[in-house]
Amino acid sequence: MADAEATKGASPKSPGSGKSSAKPGASPRDTGSSPPPGDGAEGSEPGPGELVAAEHFEDEESDTDSRFGGDAESSTASVSSSILEYRKIHGRTFHSDRYDSQYWTPNDERQSENVDITHHYMTLLLDDRLYLAPIRPDVQKVLDIGTGTGIWAIDFGDQHPSAEVIGTDLSPMMPAWVPPNVRFEIDDCTKPWTWDDNSVDFVHIRFLGGGIKDWTGLFREAYRVLKPGGWLQSGEFDPRFLCDDGTGNDQEAFKLWNKVFNESGPKMGVNFAVIDERIQDAAIVEAGFEKIEGVTYKAPVGPWPRDKKLAEAGRYVQLVMENDMEGYSTFLWNTILGWPAEEYQVFLMQVRKMVRDWRKTHNYFHARYVWGRKPE
């Protein structure tokens, strides 16, 4: 399997010797090549692909105020009153309990804003592209599994007006006004899919980590509905903080945030370490795909990298965290782990302080894309 690994970051004073990587957003055919150094401050130049903290900043404020059963139960459903009966947990709404799947983030307006911002900075990291798989330009039918607000499906539909684009999710979070070639369905992707065999050209799956118990089963459903020669692309995001230069990983907020995900995953029967353990990679092979490639990106928390594109993406990552870090942790802390409620707000305050201190604390998240083709 071809793979482009994002290189390790380094101390602001001394770039580290991480693995060679593809430039974020590089052509899938060039994922093994080394990119040119990023735009850096004066001094020692970063090595190829390194995520290096800038040494000087402009004067500005740092506060940026499953299962796959064998029964005939359909994965899709009409928008009935039962689906719209959201669960209210700790003041936030979550998808209807009509589904067996237990997804851990809310479906309210505040979280929807974060979904759209996340789409924006991930598109930045991919050099303004929506996908990396080398799909045919005349693609006809596309599935967007886990569509969220539908923003990826809408953008793809605008770029490919001749394609039929279907976005699916557990909750109707999508807008009413969409391109004429885009539609949405309420769907539980952990159940057998309702689309016909060999009927789809491209299956796009994104950000389902923490909600999938059987990744191989998920990818096998994609394999079944894809036409011979069709492509699957899976993009995942690890919600745990990472740090290469030691500025963040000794902080209590850093360790406690990661502990939330490390301990809640086993209790839910899921794994948040999809990227670290290469779960996507193993599952796409087991599902039968070929010509498999993958690339890992670093999404900095705050505009601390020297590279201008990464610094811009980092501003949006910081915005996402400050806008709704509660949405990524309240269900896990209070419902899954049952930790003391009186300590939760203190925890959020500590994490928020760390996120805002990006000049001194150089944290980032991992995102990984893997894609493969169904044999002709």
If 0-12 CB within 10 Å is exposed, 13-18 middle and 19+ buried, where does residue 311 land? buried
One-character DSSP codes across 134-149: ---TT--EEEEET-TT
Average pLDDT of every residue of the chain = 80
Q: Is the pLDDT of residue 293 over 50?
A: yes
Question: In sequence order, which residues have a C-beta less than 8 Å from that of residue 137 and are 6 or more positions away?
Answer: none
Length of the chain, please? 376
* pLDDT confidence of residue 148: 87
| pTM to 2 decimal places | 0.77
Amino acid, res. 350: Q
Q: Is the pLDDT of residue 370 over 90?
A: yes
Question: In sequence order, which residues have a C-beta less than 8 Å from that of residue 172 and are 6 or more positions away?
Answer: 79, 83, 84, 184, 186
165-182: pLDDT as tens digits: 999 987 777 777 889 999
For residue 142, list its beta bridge partners. Answer: 165, 202
Q: Is the pLDDT of residue 220 over 90?
A: yes
Residue 309 CA: distances (Å) to CA of 200, 213, 246, 305 = 34, 34, 23, 9
Q: What torsion, rounded to 10 degrees, do the Cα atoms 101, 105, 111, 117 define?
A: -100
CA neighbor of 105 nearest in space, from 251, 296, 237: 237
If 0-12 CB within 10 Å is exposed, 13-18 middle and 19+ buried, where does residue 123 land? middle
3-class SS at 291? strand
| CA terminus-to-terminus distance, the chain | 18
Q: Span 342-352, mean pLDDT?
A: 95
Q: Is the pLDDT of residue 18 over 70?
A: no
Could you tell me what percent of the chain has a pLDDT over 70?
71
Q: What is the largest CA-CA distance in the chain?
A: 64
Pairing of strands 87-89, 92-94: antiparallel
CB of 222 closer than 8 Å to CB of 232: yes
DSSP-derived secondary structure letter, 5: P
Q: Is the pLDDT of residue 60 over 60?
A: no
Q: Which residue has the higher pLDDT, 187 or 7?
A: 187
User: Can you point out the beta strands (E) in 95-192?
Assistant: 141-145, 164-169, 182-187
298-330: pLDDT as tens digits: 999 999 999 999 999 999 999 999 988 888 888
For residue 87, list its beta bridge partners. Answer: 94
233-286: pLDDT as tens digits: 999 999 999 999 999 989 999 999 999 999 999 998 999 999 999 999 999 999
Q: Looking up tokens 């090549």, which residue turns up?
A: 33
CA neighbor of 203 nearest in space, from 141, 132, 288, 152: 141
* pLDDT confidence of residue 328: 84
Q: Is the pLDDT of residue 113 over 50?
A: yes
Distance in angstroms (rounded) separating the CA atoms of residues 180 and 176? 11
* pLDDT confidence of residue 47: 40
Element (H, E) at 368: strand 363-373
Element (H, E) at 153: helix 151-159
Distance in angstroms (rounded) separating the CA atoms of residues 94 and 105? 7
* pLDDT confidence of residue 338: 93
Task: Specify the range with the lowest mean pLDDT, choosing from 75-89, 265-279, 295-309, 353-367.
Answer: 75-89
